[in-house]
Chain A
Amino acid sequence: MTTNATANPSPIKLATTAAAPQKASRMALSNVVRGVLNEPLYVILYGVEGVGKSTFAAGAPSPIFLSTEGGTGHLDVARFPEVSTFAEALDAIRTLINEPHDFKTLVIDTVDHLEPLVHAHLLNGTKWKSLAEYGGGYGRGKEAALDAWRIFMKAVETLRKAKGMHVIFLGHCTIRTFKNPMGGDFDRYVPKMNEHAAGLIKESVGYVLFARYESFAKTDDDKRTRGFSDGTRLLHTQWSASYDAKNRGDLPAEMPLSWVDFEAATKAGAPKAEAKLRAEIASLIPSLPEEKRAAVQAAADGTTDLSRLAQILDRARALSAITTADANGAA
């Protein structure tokens, strides 16, 4: 039924009329701020073994590592003693909340190694021997584990608010089959942990990043397809059928796996300025193998896409490093 609003005015006031200004309203002009807010970054980075996740995080400002696994010994960073229980992990975060310090980034390395500690924490002191049995079974263990993860995430949120620290979760990846309702099923990279726990982290953070080596497939004369990689490490920031990723900024879909580039991109909402990228590529060209120089220059000249330029720069860096190492070896 429709009514004529003029002839039969509804007694319902659809919108409030302009109210008198609130005395202590947050919406005062004095509270207006301009520009990009420098909120602490909240990131999960997952990727294949050895791709450089910890090295990426080590590039963040004044990091402290909360390690659940070894493998960061080569990095010159501050670190808590390796945590062996879930309670220790929470204690470490609460220490950062409550005590004065100069750390600016917390790195949790890695969330998938923290997961067994969460499970052990649940089972500790109970009659149950495994998560499958926990609470009488029927998936209750996973639900209880999710509640423990929520407690962990709350502690991390409190730290971010209290100290304004960046937080980076690192994790390994695994391949899971995606049941595609629109066609054939396919495999994709996902964080190597319980789906709900991973979902909680992914929903909480601002950036879900996937790291991998750039790889190519080539069919040789025997019609055999071989994969190869030149060692370039890439960071993916947007969802794809092949992996989970997201960003709340306006980041390019791909960029070099480097904290400096990532942070700069988050600040700019875009990768480095085009001229800067081109200048850096140009500065590297003399150090590249002679047969590659023209190809790199042509690739750079042939695109205006900033993320593509960032990729070319990353490859140029890798090639330059290899050439320099070879030259040093020969010497």
Chain B
Amino acid sequence: MSTHLPVISNSEMKTFRACRRLHHMQYDMLYRLAVEPEALRFGSLFHRGLEAWWIAKRSGVVEPLAHALEVVRADPGESDAFELVRAEELLRGYDCRWGDEPIEVVGVEVEFTASIVNPATGAASKTYRLGGKIDALARYADGRLVTVEHKTASSDIEPGSDYWRHLRLDVQIGTYLVGARALGHEPAECLYDVIGKPATRPLKATPEESRKYTEAKPERACGACRGKGAKAGETCPKCEGVGRLPGEPSRLYAGQRETDETVEEYRARLREHIAENPDRYYVRGTIVRLDEEEADDAYDRWATAREIAEARRLHRHPKNPDACIRYGRICDFHDVCTRTASLDDPARFRRAETAHEELTVTQPATTEAAE
């Protein structure tokens, strides 16, 4: 494989399949958002902690959780204290759930490059090579090696849900199996490690104008024993023989608050929720690729790479308005396409140095980026 060839990654191909204009802006012109959107910020923070946890496991650190927490606390980025607590508690739960699994960590954030092969001829592409970073490589007790893919998800991740059904066609899994083979491994399958993002948010004080209070109750005679303190010859259980019930002050309605939840109150509530619902937060599944599916994936990779080359050669980058809303949010470059924002606005966009900032492989600049 020629190492001078430009790399295309799974993310790049995914972007290209979704919208060629977006691909052009991100991978030819190298524009990125200047500030990471809030929706992606938590995922990045948690992923850093998870990476640290796996590195600690690989190094034989006795308490990988402590190492992971240290990493997220040291660099929380733009995250606020509550987001940090969310990441910390999710990491704590992860450690409880999977810490004792008997798997040996072979590598973490394993980078690869591989040939993009024409399945019809077996010839390698002379235009591009495939690049990527596998979250982890691990070995089971029986000796089988697997690729590990971590994902955070907001959707339902319970076994058998559409989330898992969709993975039978996920291109990234097949791509990373190819990547692991290029590194000389023979992965048997992919261990898909999904972490549900907590929907629990810090509770806010009820606005004063919306607050409702119960009526204050004065001290009164016990209704159960009619103020006698005894009923059928026995001490009244309601007033405990006193014959009167104490008064009750006016209280805020249940579900309403006078103050915002503190970070520690939020932590305690979130921790309890995670402990009570581990299946909602941590699910692992084995994903395999059958032989015919691998051949089909190879064909798709080859075809997509050809189309990317063709688009670049012809300078044709049509928009796909059907992909403006993905993952429940509008595209980060939507304002550019609708001419209400400029790529030259440094407050919104920045120029990346390479098309694949997450990879360290040599990345020759594309023609337009060089211009």
Contact = CB atoms under 8 A, between A and B. Distances in A.
B28 interface: no
Contacts, number: 67
Nearest to B143: A98
A113 to B, nearest CB: 22
Given A135-B159, A142-B160, A147-B285, A27 B121 contact: yes
Interface string A283-299: 00000000000000000
A134 B160 contact: yes
A9 to B, nearest CB: 14
B290 interface: yes
Contacts of A33: none
Contact of B158 (A27, A136, A139, A142): A136
Given A147-B285, A150-B168, A122 B290 contact: no
Contacts of A158: 188
A26 B164 contact: no
A158 B177 CA distance: 15
Contacts of A127: 279
A98 B285 CA distance: 24
Interface residues of B, number: 27
B80 interface: no
B123 interface: yes
A11 B313 CA distance: 10
A94 B142 contact: yes
B160 A11 contact: no
A157 interface: yes
A144 B167 CA distance: 12
B161 interface: yes
A147 B314 contact: no
A57 B79 CA distance: 63
A248 interface: no
B290 A25 contact: no
Contacts of A140: 158-161
Contacts of B142: 94
Given A11-B314, A27-B121, A141 B160 contact: yes
B288 A122 contact: no
A244 B155 CA distance: 38
B286 interface: yes
B165 interface: yes
Interface string B124-144: 100000000000000000111
B164 A150 contact: no
A284 B190 CA distance: 57
B121 A25 contact: yes
Contacts of B285: 147
Nearest to B126: A19
Contacts of A147: 160, 164, 168, 285-287
B159 A157 contact: no
B104 interface: no
Nearest to B283: A135
Contacts of B279: 126-127
Contacts of B188: 154, 158
A12 B286 CA distance: 43
B291 interface: yes
A127 B278 CA distance: 12
B122 interface: yes
A161 B292 CA distance: 13
A150 B290 contact: yes
Nearest to A135: B160
Contact of A204 (B161, B290, B314): B290
A204 B168 CA distance: 15
Contacts of B159: 122, 134-135, 140, 144
B285 to A, nearest CB: 7
Interface in B94-134: 121-124
20 contacts: A12-B310, A25-B121, A25-B122, A26-B121, A26-B123, A27-B121, A98-B143, A135-B161, A140-B159, A141-B160, A143-B160, A144-B164, A147-B164, A147-B168, A147-B285, A150-B288, A153-B288, A154-B189, A154-B289, A204-B290
Interface of B: 121-124, 142-144, 158-161, 164-165, 168, 188-189, 279, 285-292, 310, 314
Nearest 5 A-B pairs (CB), nearest first? A140-B160, A26-B122, A144-B160, A135-B160, A154-B288
